[in-house]
């Protein structure tokens, strides 16, 4: 049977636009259909080898609806999100490109958005980014030209009004599904729901939350969000992830900004015989709890350096309900590339003279 | 964070790493500051809101005076006064596009990330900044301050990106000139 998200004329063809959808991507289709979405985070390699990216993405094959390509998360230097997205789209994965305001000003960011959309990136996530003090290069110059809110607005203007921030026109606007991040677990707690409202106003269509270890606190947050009617205006994906051990959890709690881990979680990990297994079980338990909360549309699994467990976690929590996410997203330019490769393979000799004449006759 | 380091150790440590800090955001300068006046201004945000409204009205009344001398010519002395008054009260960074009325009288440019639309996700559990552990988060203060204000809900508005070319110029004069222009446009429409 053909997959529900397949072009009826063949799986190798790009999808047709649907009314009311802002992108051609499948993540948006899954969310708008009301299915429980699963996204995961790709651990960016510290290498120039494309194979590293392909291997790390292959682990998620058929288990997730989108792969986050992080933009130097934690201000640590890695392969860029643009580069990762270029590789992923080439192989037919559906990346969610993260853009952090820490490293690029508005000129670079708008250029990257156009480039990404041209490569076939359908989802863009707008972040402020961690401060440079958190990373491996605290001597770097922090940019923060835009903030996440004005970045959302910038990309939304590019998409909906086909204009740069300056007002200059775009000939083809980037068709992207816009995401943002939320952290319900940091003060000022009562402002956080309103901040989500601001993000939605600025253009956010889906949000992924920070690691959720405190489910009662998240429930409280969601109650306020529902009161404000925000869950109907945007899709909320809860961030979850396995902790390797109680020691890691403690380290994260005191060294990574913005992650709140209650004592009960650490006690549970410490009490377990196999802490790694318990961490995974804890993650599954949290998924099972949050998926019942009204207004939650999916989970975002951040299994840093434990990516191999993502499939297991998704499978055991049963959130996909038997649904299988697609494995191959066709790129609009696939056919063109195939033709070009075919031409190169057929080994036709190129006549320089003829080519020069042809070019001369085709001024543009 | 579970237990934040007390005192001024963090900025000093950051300075020792040789980390880049833009002009006017020096960690040493921060270490010397006690944030007392800034926090006092936030606690009295309602008074400052009332005062600023009066003040802006007075400035608008003086529009003919500014116009007589020329806005360009009064720019320098006014900027001088504005810088020192706002520096004392709010630790102003002279971005030239004051948002204090929308941010609970807590200057958003004091945020190390210069966020103008709300707190980042890195705020510590004790309400302090992620980057400068001994500084109370500008946006936690802003939210508190905005709750005291009559038009505190302006904090919900999405702010435009900063126009860096307006740095070191007078926000008071710009607001006055814009208000005067709007008033004239409205008068022109009525006539």
Q: What angle do CA A77, A182, B152 make, to 5 degrees?
A: 120
Can you give the pLDDT at residue A331? 79
Q: Over pLDDT 70: what percentage of chain B?
A: 82
Distance from C-alpha of B66 to C-alpha of A208, rounded to nearest angstrom? 50
Task: Give the count of domains, chain A.
Answer: 1
CA distance B27 to chain A (A): 12
* Contacts by A26-30, CB closer than 8 A, 24 or more apart: A26/A65, A26/A94, A26/A122, A26/A325, A26/A326, A26/A329, A27/A65, A27/A66, A27/A94, A27/A96, A27/A122, A27/A123, A27/A177, A27/A206, A28/A122, A28/A123, A28/A177, A28/A205, A29/A5, A30/A5, A30/A65, A30/A325
Has residue A158 been placed in a domain? yes
Can you give the pLDDT at residue A16? 80
Can you give the pLDDT at residue A338? 87
- Measured between beta carbons, the chain B residues lying within 8 angstroms of A253 are 1-2
Has residue A281 been placed in a domain? yes
Q: Looking at residue B161, what DSSP letter applies?
A: P
- Measured between beta carbons, the chain A residues lying within 8 angstroms of B160 are 150
Q: Rounded mean pLDDT of B8-19?
A: 59
Can you give the pLDDT at residue B19? 61
CA distance B135 to chain A (A): 14
* CA proximity to A215, closest of A146, A256, A265: A265
A104, A147, A208, best to mutate vs chain B, most B CBs in 10 Å: A147
Has residue A6 been placed in a domain? no
- Measured between beta carbons, the chain A residues lying within 8 angstroms of B17 are 138-139
Nearest by CB to A202, which of B20, B123, B158?
B158
CATH number of the domain to which A120 belongs:
3.20.20.220
Nearest by CB to A198, which of B1, B112, B156?
B156
Residues counted in chain A:
364
CA distance A123 to chain B (A): 21
Check B119 against A195: CB less than 8 A apart: yes
Looking at chain A, which residue has its C-alpha nearest residue B25?
Answer: A142
Can you give the pLDDT at residue A343? 85
Check A187 against B121: CB less than 8 A apart: no
Can you give the pLDDT at residue A216? 96
Has residue A331 been placed in a domain? yes
Check B119 against A140: CB less than 8 A apart: no
Has residue A130 been placed in a domain? yes
Check B2 against A106: CB less than 8 A apart: no
CA distance B7 to chain A (A): 17
State the residue range of the domain holding A39.
Answer: 26-361
Residue B48 — left, alpha, or beta (φ > 0 → left; ψ -120 to 50 → alpha)?
alpha
- Measured between beta carbons, the chain B residues lying within 8 angstroms of A187 are 119, 123-127, 137, 140
Q: Rounded mean pLDDT of B111-123?
A: 93
Nearest by CB to B113, which of A138, A144, A195?
A144
Check B117 against A149: CB less than 8 A apart: yes
Q: Which residues of chain A have pLDDT under 50?
A: 1
CA distance B129 to chain A (A): 9
Neighbours of B189 (CB within 10 A): 7
Check A145 against B123: CB less than 8 A apart: no
* CA proximity to A153, closest of A82, A216, A92, A201: A201
Check B2 against A254: CB less than 8 A apart: yes
Residue B28 pLDDT level (bands cut at 50, 70, 90): very low
Distance from C-alpha of A307 to C-alpha of A363, rounded to nearest angstrom? 51
Neighbours of A115 (CB within 10 A): 15
Looking at chain B, which residue has its C-alpha nearest residue A193?
Answer: B156
- Measured between beta carbons, the chain B residues lying within 8 angstroms of A149 are 116-118, 158-159
Nearest by CB to B158, which of A165, A186, A198?
A198
Chain B residues within 8 A (CB-CB) of chain A? 1-3, 14, 17-20, 22, 112-127, 130-131, 137, 139-140, 143-144, 155-162, 164
- Residue with tokens 């499978």, as numbered in its chain: A315
Examine the pLDDT at B30 and tell me if it is beyond 90: no
Indicate the domain borders of chain B: 26-190
Can you give the pLDDT at residue B26? 45
Looking at chain A, which residue has its C-alpha nearest residue B118?
Answer: A195
For residue range B151-189, list pLDDT tens digits in order: 999 999 999 999 999 999 999 999 999 999 999 999 988
Residue B86 pLDDT level (bands cut at 50, 70, 90): very high
Q: Looking at residue B136, what DSSP letter applies?
A: B
- Measured between beta carbons, the chain A residues lying within 8 angstroms of B112 are 131, 142
Nearest by CB to B156, which of A129, A142, A194?
A194
């Amino acid at each position: 049977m053909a997959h529900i998200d397949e072009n009826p004329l063949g799986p190798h063809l790009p999808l047709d636009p649907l009314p009311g959808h802002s992108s051609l991507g499948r993540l948006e289709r899954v969310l708008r259909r009301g299915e429980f979405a699963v996204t995961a985070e790709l651990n960016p390699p510290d290498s120039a080898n494309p194979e590293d990216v392909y291997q790390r993405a292959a682990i998620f094959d058929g288990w997730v609806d989108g792969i986050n390509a992080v933009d130097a998360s934690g201000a640590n230097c890695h392969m860029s999100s643009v580069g990762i997205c270029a590789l992923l789209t080439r192989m037919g994965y559906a990346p969610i490109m993260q853009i952090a305001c820490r490293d690029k000003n508005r000129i670079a960011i708008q250029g990257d958005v156009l480039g990404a959309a041209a490569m076939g990136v359908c989802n863009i996530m707008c972040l402020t980014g961690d401060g440079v003090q958190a990373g491996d290069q605290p001597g770097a110059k922090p940019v923060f030209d835009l903030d996440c809110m004005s970045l959302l607005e910038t990309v939304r203007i590019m998409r909906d009004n086909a204009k740069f921030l300056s007002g200059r026109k775009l000939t083809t606007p980037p068709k992207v599904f816009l995401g943002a991040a939320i952290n319900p677990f940091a003060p000022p707690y009562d402002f956080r729901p309103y901040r989500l409202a601001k993000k939605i106003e600025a253009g956010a269509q889906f949000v992924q939350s920070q690691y959720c270890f405190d489910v009662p606190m998240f429930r409280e947050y969601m109650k306020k969000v529902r009161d404000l009617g925000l869950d109907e205006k945007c899709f909320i994906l809860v961030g979850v992830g396995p902790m390797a051990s109680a020691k890691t959890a403690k380290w994260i709690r005191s060294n990574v900004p913005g992650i709140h881990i209650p004592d009960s979680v650490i006690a549970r990990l410490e009490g377990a015989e196999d802490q790694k297994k318990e961490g995974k079980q804890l993650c599954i338990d949290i998924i099972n709890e949050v998926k019942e909360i009204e207004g939650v549309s999916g989970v975002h699994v951040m299994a840093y350096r434990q990516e191999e467990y993502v499939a297991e976690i998704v499978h055991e929590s049963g959130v996909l309900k038997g649904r299988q996410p697609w494995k191959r997203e066709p790129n609009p330019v696939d056919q063109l590339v195939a033709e070009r490769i075919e031409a190169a393979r057929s080994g036709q000799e190129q006549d320089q003279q003829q080519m020069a004449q042809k070019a001369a006759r085709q001024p543009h | 964070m579970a237990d934040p380091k007390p005192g001024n150790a963090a900025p000093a440590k950051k300075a020792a790493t040789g980390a880049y800090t833009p002009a006017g955001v020096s960690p040493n300068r921060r270490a010397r500051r006690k944030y007392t006046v800034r926090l006092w201004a936030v606690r009295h945000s309602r008074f400052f809101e009332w005062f600023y409204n009066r003040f802006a009205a007075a400035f608008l009344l003086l529009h003919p005076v500014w116009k007589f001398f020329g806005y360009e010519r009064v720019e320098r002395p006014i900027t001088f006064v504005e810088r020192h008054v706002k520096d004392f009260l709010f630790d102003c960074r002279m971005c030239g596009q004051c948002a204090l009325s929308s941010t609970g009288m807590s200057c958003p440019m004091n945020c190390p990330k210069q966020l103008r639309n709300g707190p980042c996700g890195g705020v510590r559990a004790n309400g302090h900044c992620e980057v400068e552990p001994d500084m109370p988060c500008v946006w936690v203060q802003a939210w508190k301050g905005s709750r005291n204000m009559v038009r505190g809900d302006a904090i919900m508005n999405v702010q435009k990106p900063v126009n860096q070319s307006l740095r070191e110029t007078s926000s008071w004069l710009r607001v006055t000139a814009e208000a005067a222009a709007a008033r004239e446009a409205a008068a022109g429409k009525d006539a």
